[in-house]
Chains A and B, each alone.
Chain A
Amino acid sequence: MTAHNETGELQPIHHEPTSFFLKYLWSTDHKMIAKQFMWAGLVFLLIGGTLAMMIRWQWAFPGAPVPILGSILLRGSGGVIGPAQYMTIFTTHGLIMIFFAITPLLIGMFGNFLIPLQIGARDMAFPWLNALSFWMYALSLVLVIASLFGNLGPAGAGWTTYPPLSTNLGTPGSGQTLMVAAVFVTGVGSIMGGVNYVTTIIRLRAPGMDYFRMPLTIWGLFLTAILNVLFVPVLGSAAFLLLLDRMFGTQFFIAGSVTGAPAGDPIMFQHLFWIFGHPEVYILILPAWGIIGDLFSFFSRKPANFYRGTVGAMIAVTVLSAVVYGHHMFQTGMSPMLGKSFMVLTLIISIPSVMLVLNWLRTLWGGSIRLTVPMLFALGTMFVFGVGGLTGLYLGAVVPDIYLHDTMFVVGHFHFTMAAASFLATFAGLYFWFPKMFGKRLNDTLGKIHFWMSSVFITLVFGGQLLAGYAGQSRRLYDPYQYSFLTRLHGLNRWTSYAAFLLLLGQFVFIFNFFRTMFFVKASGMEANPWQVSTLEWAIPSPPPYHNFDTIPIVVRGPHEFANPVVLERLGRDWIGQAEELPEAMPGSARKAGT
């Protein structure tokens, strides 16, 4: 019995369920679950973005009534954001964007949709667990919304939820409890998803799909899933202990004269949080790296430069991400020895990061670049990731961090990586795989308008944050101009806010394009492989049948086989599929190169 048949028998073809409940709600089909994550993630991306606009409004026009939103959300105060509401807005913005928008889109949507399709499997290893993972996430969304209406007030301790502020001492409202519970529940869902992804990639690769033949996207998702499985449980433990502190009167994280000695340790929470929190920023960027690494090759019509080196660099970053978290805590009174160690380890990350960038650059160099919408977004991702990565240098070293710690410079830095790069890469992937998901293409012109508005204004917004932080503005200030050394920043902040409003405006171009294509464009006439690329998912119809592959493909080469002169000679095109047999030379044609 061949390996081929074995894999086929392990994954029998099931019939697609016809009932509404099993088809759309409790679906075990990875493609439907991906779409569920997509809808929920996009909705929450818009909610999180709207909250960001309210923060920007407050910094541009402190104390002025918020137009439109104010009359809906802030009726009690006449549309004005108060200090306590401001706390809730930035806390909810951060948590929604990280856990309920970017995570579901980049990992939930792309992970579910692409892993089986790109490795040649008929579904995930544990389809039922997959459905449960989505519904855990959906439950956490309910908790997030409920937290806004919590008795004694909503959540307000910041996305980092540092105790004692996040205990009943600082935020007594049940909203904070519900928010911590939401993070815990979505964490459980992430772990389920992570276990599923890891198992699927290890066990269900099609015959011939060696680890080093997987698309870089799969590598990114694989490493992300490993980090999720290892480190989300740590976040879960921190959240759980915090819930005990809030609900059952324990004192794990409370200290100081309010407790009466002896007591717990607030810093212990920060250790637990950042052991998870630093890998988390890589959790949110690794899939993005993978996606743009593939797209650079696809649209340069050229093999990805030094594929194994790129994979190696991604693995190195993944490993290092686990041992650098202390740089978030340089100012907590950490021992000098620890501070120095974390500084050295943090700066070492720049070596694999530079290797990644060099490989991307050399992939582009000497290619035949097609500036399609996904390619533009991928290039934009590389650009903003460059800013985000480089500004990390300042913060990884103890001495500049003394001044820059907890300023808007930190905010700008992590927005360039986690927000700008992840956001643009999400759209790169969405424009690229939308035809695969729905069998039709998004409009190109609208896509280009969306790209330019997104990338230009996102750079201006987060660039404005970097400048404000460099000039000394602390994070999370309801009214920065209370401080005399910050009054000079009012103009800068206002212009940054205008850029933010235009960034939001640009997203409506996407929303229009998305709904127009989804509901008013007929799925017909699209080529099966509109981008002319070689990975497995493009060798089957779009959208794929319920069981993906009629027969499990046998993979014979890597994911980036472009510009091969032999292929060009025998097939008349510049690419060949991963599972495509190269035909023998035409009789009579001269043999130029060996195969």
Chain B
Amino acid sequence: MDFLGLPHDASVNGYRIDHLINETSFFVILFFVVTAALMLYACLRHGERHQASYDHGDTWKSFRWTLAVAAAIFLVVDGPLLVESLTDLREVFFNFAYAESQPQAVRIEINAHQWIWTARYAGPDGKFNTADDIVTTNDVVIPQGAPVIIQITSTDVIHSFNLPNMRMKIDAVPGIVNRMWFEAKETGQFDIACAQHCGSNHYKMKGTLTVLPRADYNRWLGEASANSSRGFDPDDAEAHWGWDWAAYSRI
């Protein structure tokens, strides 16, 4: 039964999404099974030999009964989904204020093209689009246990930056900078996938998310930054696609 179930969750907050999905599944399956059983029972027991009752079911009593059942189902099934979604959004997924306020937070700018993910780190100076920026291709490296904030856009068509093992996804739209944040709980290598149809090689728009322990991450950052400074070419305008982080980090 390996094909059943969500992919491995390597994130700190992914459990909230999994919990909501599973909780909804419980109620949905329960409601469906009861309805289908009633339908089946009616078909088997209220068949041709059963005397049909002459009932239009349009009395006030009938109406109140129907409305009450519909409202009860709404409260039980939709209620938790709605309330917990709003809580999760406020506490975590839309809570960029928390992520930005963490001193150890990592900031990455991503530019999507057909069919490549290019990532940019600010480097030691903490400013984007400068000589010491680290730029990688289809390769995003992050530390374990720190908020990772991503700002993302696209050069050509719409893509969608999808981290199934982190339960995170956001569209990369040309002309717009979108953002998301997450935090990795485990180290390891995970898939970066494109979730939005972006042309014939959409299925190959694949990258690797590497989660390292903090010390290893810091070492990688130092080496990569030194390499990037050596490869910096001030005349290569194409390579300077970074943007001012603060302009899009409004809370």
Contact = CB atoms under 8 A, between A and B. Distances in A.
A308 B57 CA distance: 10
A145 interface: no
Contacts of A502: none
Given A350-B77, A383-B39, A478-B203, A399 B54 contact: no
Contact of A406 (B48, B62, B169, B206): B169
Contacts of B234: none
B175 A266 contact: yes
A395 to B, nearest CB: 10
B55 to A, nearest CB: 7
A548 B198 CA distance: 52
B54 A386 contact: no
A224 interface: no
A347 to B, nearest CB: 4
Nearest to B62: A306
B158 A364 contact: no
Given A306-B57, A393-B28, A397-B20, A354 B85 contact: no
B200 A87 contact: yes
Contacts of B8: 485
Interface string A467-485: 1101110111111101111
Contact of A300 (B52, B71, B171): B52
A402 B171 contact: no
A398 interface: yes
A309 B66 CA distance: 9
B176 A302 contact: no
Contacts of B46: 300, 364-369
Contacts of A82: 200
A281 interface: no
Q: How large is the interface on B (under 10, 10 to 19, 20 to 34, 35 or more residues)?
A: 35 or more
Nearest to A352: B70
A471 B3 contact: yes
Interface in A334-392: 336, 339-340, 343-344, 347-348, 350-352, 354-355, 357-359, 361-371, 379, 382-383, 386-387, 390-391
Contacts of B170: 331, 333
Contacts of B165: 485
B3 A390 contact: no
Interface in A256-311: 256-258, 263-267, 300-309
Contacts of B97: none
A386 B202 CA distance: 33
A485 B164 contact: yes
B197 A354 contact: no
A477 B197 CA distance: 8
A470 B54 contact: no
Contact of A478 (B16, B17, B28, B202): B202
A350 B74 contact: yes
Contacts of B193: 474, 483
Contacts of A369: 42-43, 46-48, 50
B114 to A, nearest CB: 8
B162 A406 contact: yes
A489 interface: yes
A466 to B, nearest CB: 11
Contact of A390 (B28, B57, B94): B28
A486 B82 CA distance: 30
Interface string B152-165: 01111110101011
Contacts of B71: 351
Interface stretch (A164-172, A229-237, A240-248, A536-544): A164-172
A254 B17 CA distance: 34
B7 interface: yes
A256 B174 contact: yes
Interface centre among B46, B84, B157, B165 (most CB of A within 10 A): B157
A27 to B, nearest CB: 40
A265 B175 CA distance: 7
Contacts of A78: none
A406 B195 contact: yes
A488 B3 contact: yes
Contact of B157 (A86, A169, A574): A169
A510 B39 CA distance: 26
A402 B32 contact: no
B167 A402 contact: yes
Interface in A391-412: 391, 393-394, 397-400, 402-407
Nearest to B21: A400
A350 B31 contact: no
A340 B156 contact: no
Interface string B60-100: 00110011011101100110011011101100011000000
A405 B169 contact: yes
B235 interface: no
Interface centre among B155, B158, B191 (most CB of A within 10 A): B158
A84 interface: yes
Nearest to B25: A394
Given A258-B174, A485-B191, A266 B203 contact: no
A366 B66 CA distance: 16
A83 interface: yes
Contact of B160 (A331, A386, A479): A331
A471 B3 CA distance: 7
A235 to B, nearest CB: 19
B48 A368 contact: yes
B203 A256 contact: no
Contacts of B4: 467, 470-471
Interface in B167-202: 167-171, 173-176, 178-179, 190-191, 193-202
A545 interface: no
B236 to A, nearest CB: 14
A357 B52 contact: no
A158 interface: yes
A358 B53 CA distance: 17
B173 A267 contact: yes
A366 B167 contact: no
Interface stretch (A4-12, A99-107, A559-567): A559-567
A524 interface: no
A255 B175 contact: yes
A491 interface: yes
B241 A257 contact: yes
A489 to B, nearest CB: 5
Interface in A12-33: none
B58 interface: yes
Contacts of A400: 17, 20-21, 24, 81, 85
Given A398-B85, A403-B6, A471-B7, 12 more contacts: A163-B157, A170-B199, A350-B77, A364-B39, A368-B46, A369-B42, A390-B28, A393-B28, A403-B14, A471-B3, A472-B6, A474-B195
9 contacts: A83-B203, A84-B200, A162-B158, A165-B198, A306-B57, A470-B4, A476-B197, A485-B191, A562-B54
